[in-house]
Amino acid sequence: MNDRDIQLDEQGRLRHLLTIEGLKRQVLTDILDYAENFASAGNQTVKKVPLLRSKTIANLFFEASTRTRTTFELAAKRLSADVLNVNIDTSSTVKGESLLDMLRNLEAMHCDMFVVRHNRSGAAHFIARHVAPHISVINGGDGSHAHPTQAMLDMFTIRRHKGDFTRLRIAIVGDILHSRVARSQIHALTTLGVPEVRVVGPHTLIPQEAAQLGVHVYHDMEAGLRDCDVVIMLRLQRERMSGALLPSEQEYFQCYGLTPAKLALAKPDAIVMHPGPINRGVEMASEVADGPQSVILEQVTNGIAVRMAVMAMTLGRHRGQDSEEAAS
Instruction: Give me the DSSP letters along 12-80.
Output: S-BS-B--STT--HHHHHHHHHHHHHHHTGGGSSS----TTTT-EEEEEESS--SHHHHHHHHHHHHTT
Q: How far is CA 68 from the centre of its chain?
A: 8
The fold of the 148-300 domain, in CATH, is Rossmann fold (3.40.50)
Q: List where CATH 3.40.50.1370 sits in the chain.
A: 3-143+301-327, 148-300
Question: pLDDT per position in the chain (328 positions), as tens?
Answer: 455 579 998 888 999 999 999 999 999 999 999 999 999 766 776 779 999 999 999 999 988 888 899 999 999 999 999 999 987 764 545 444 588 888 999 999 999 999 999 988 999 999 999 999 999 999 999 988 999 999 999 999 999 999 999 999 999 999 999 999 999 999 999 999 999 999 999 999 999 888 888 999 999 999 999 999 999 999 987 654 444 466 688 899 999 999 999 999 999 999 999 999 999 999 999 999 999 999 999 999 999 999 999 999 999 644 344 444 444 4
* Integer Cα distance of 257 and 251 in angstroms: 9
User: Would you say 31 and 152 are in contact if contact means Cβ atoms under 8 Å apart?
Assistant: yes
* Widest pairwise Cα distance in the chain: 57
CA–CA dist 90, 105 (Å, integer):
15
Alpha-helix runs per DSSP H in 98-206: 99-108, 123-130, 148-162, 180-191
Domain spanning 3-143+301-327: which superfamily? Aspartate/ornithine carbamoyltransferase (3.40.50.1370)
DSSP element (H, E) containing 164: none
